[in-house]
Structure 1
């Protein structure tokens, strides 16, 4: 009888483990979403930039441009747009005036690319808003990482006021935001 129970338990364990590896996954929970590190990683990057800008005056708003793929500067992705949005949100939370370019009808925008602007056009928008700086950046893919470069640049003379580099894991989530297969 004990032997039969042991065999039944072993078969049950094997069956359960087969179910766990059949490729199906359970839906994410709110708790798992709250533990997600993408937002906090981008907020930390924004905090580093803000620390570098601490000695600069906070007069005049900042523009935000979508992060672009470093290998194709005219293209972005959901990841590039999301990182820009999250970093801009953190700047606003810390008291920086941020100009939302998506609300401009005259801004050069591609529906799938975000706020990618021609250099002369971004300079004109900066002038119209009396913007003191532009938050911009790029990302590049490696085998298992996405390297992100963020900069705060002064319009007109292109002087870099702050810069920060960091890496994101090229996991399933980030692959999805880049539009890459799982």
Structure 2
């Protein structure tokens, strides 16, 4: 006598429910992982990272830029009003000067009561008398300048190093910074000098 095991097409109800429950949990876990990884973006680069990349770009674009040492840095100004800056404009200039110094530029420290700026009436690349006077006083062969504009989601920054003798652009770079609450607070100090 041979015993033939039962091959019933219907497994025990408890096993079927357990399998369905296990498969459902597995599918939920996989879906959760997929959603999590889709929503996880790398963080936006901060102002310091962007300035250092911009400095590298400037020097890579014109390796001779470092021959125009020493350099002084002007405060970055609001593109809509070249006589206006903010905490953002001042710190951007400082960070960019630091980044260029790490790329080989000799930066002369110039702290003064009134920051340097571009004279609006004679155009963006013509240096004001004050800047020309300072570059002569500090024997600066180049000047770091920059402008910024506030958009809805980003701040757009354009920066360049110009030769002090004739305002020729030696190097330039542009970047954008995510306009978050931190950046907004740096812009709140907008106003005259």
Under a length normalisation based on structure 2, what TM-score does the superposition of the two structures give? 0.65
Count of residues in correspondence between the two structures: 138
SS of 1:140's equivalent in the other structure is strand
**Quick one: structure 1 residues 57 and 81, their matched pair in 2 at CA, closer, same or farther if it must change by over 3 Å?**
closer
State the partner residue of 1:25: none
Structure 2 stretches of 5 or more lacking a match?
1-43, 120-127
- Quote the RMSD (CA, aligned, Å): 2.1
1:103-137 Cα deviation digits (max 9, x unpaired): x5xxxx43xxx443661121122122221110001
Cα displacement (A) at 1:43: 1.2
d(CA) in 2 for partners of 1:87 and 1:136? 10
CA distance, structure 2, for counterparts of residue 56 and residue 115 of structure 1: 21
CA distance in 1, matches of 2:84, 2:129: 18
Match of 2:150 among 116, 141, 152: 141
Aligned counterpart, 1:84: 93
- Secondary structure, aligned partner of 2:63: coil
TM-score, scaled relative to structure 1:
0.68
Whose relative contact order is higher, 1 or 2, with alpha carbons under 8 Å and at least 6 apart? 2
Range 77-86 or range 90-99, more displaced: 90-99
SS of residue paired to 1:43: helix
- Of stretches 39-48 and 54-63 in structure 1, the one that deviates more from structure 2 is 54-63
CA distance in 2, matches of 1:45, 1:151: 10
